[in-house]
Each structure stands twice: as C-alpha cells, then as structure tokens.
C-alpha cells in the first residue's frame, strides 16, 4: 500500500516553527520504515518549493530536495491528469480548494492510494484516510 504526501506535510516537516512540526516529524520517521511506497506529484513538489523558498528560504528548499525527496516517488503530472484535476476543481467550485489538491485526488484515485500524509482537511472531505 502507498501513501501520498501533501505539501502541508512537507512544509510542517521542514518548518520547525510550524504548529504541526513535531507531529509531522514523528509521522515522517514512521513512514521511513513503512513497507509501502511514499508518493507525491510534481505539482506538490513545485508548490512545496515555492512555499519553502518564500517563507523560510533556499536552505529549506535544498534540504527538501536533498534529504526528503530521495525517499519519495514523484508522479509527474501530464496533460491528461492536469485536465481531470482542473475539471474536479471547477466541478467542486470551492474557493479554498487548490488545483494541486485536485490533481492529488486524481493521482490517488488512479494509483489506488487511500492514505495521505497531510494536515489539509480537503483530503478527509474527499474520503481519504489522513495521517497522522
């Protein structure tokens, strides 16, 4: 079984000032010994890099790239996945929901992933099992 990792989890893991940092750190350590695959999308990587660079700086981006991402399989978003994600976003029609989240929903459904490491309630709303 695989676990998708969301931007909110990556960010909490890398920002020691984040309120969820300790919880994210414990979950990450548990996941590193997990027998299934750790998965994310190229959109999540892009969003995480932008957020880290803007809020913390390039050292956090470097740490993410060199220390975190090597343990994660990146699913590269193609035109079809983007299109389905955009359709989901427009169909749901909620302002606070992002295209990145909708693409993650599509990736999870296509790969049969039920678990997600996230602090974003949108995943629970869509019926996924949120960790921690």
Q: List all residues 6 or more positions away from 123 whose beta carbon is below 8 Å from its beta carbon.
A: 6, 101, 104, 105, 116, 130
pLDDT in tens, 21-46: 999 999 999 999 988 999 999 999 99
pTM of the full structure: 0.95
Q: Tell me: the pLDDT tens digits for 67-125?
A: 999 999 999 999 999 999 999 999 999 999 999 999 999 999 999 999 999 999 999 99
Identify the CA nearest to 44 among candidates 117, 115, 131, 110. 117
48-82 b/e with 16+ CB inside 10 Å = b?
bbebbeeebeeebbeebeeebbeebeebebeeebe
Residue 4 has pLDDT above 90, yes or no: yes
Fold held by 3-131: Rossmann fold (3.40.50)
Tell me if 3 sits within 8 A of 36, measured CB to CB: yes
């Amino acid at each position: 079984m695989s676990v998708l990792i969301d931007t909110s989890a990556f960010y909490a893991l890398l920002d020691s000032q984040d309120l969820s940092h300790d919880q994210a750190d414990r979950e990450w350590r548990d996941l590193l010994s997990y027998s299934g695959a750790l998965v994310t999308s190229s959109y999540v990587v892009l969003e995480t890099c932008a957020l880290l660079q803007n809020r913390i700086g390039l050292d956090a981006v470097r740490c993410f790239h060199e220390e975190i991402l090597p343990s994660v399989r990146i699913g590269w978003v193609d035109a079809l996945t983007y299109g389905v994600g955009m359709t989901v976003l427009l169909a749901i029609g909620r302002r606070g929901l992002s295209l990145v989240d909708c693409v993650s929903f599509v990736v999870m459904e296509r790969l049969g992933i039920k678990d997600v490491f996230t602090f974003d309630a949108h995943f629970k709303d869509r019926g996924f099992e949120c960790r921690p």
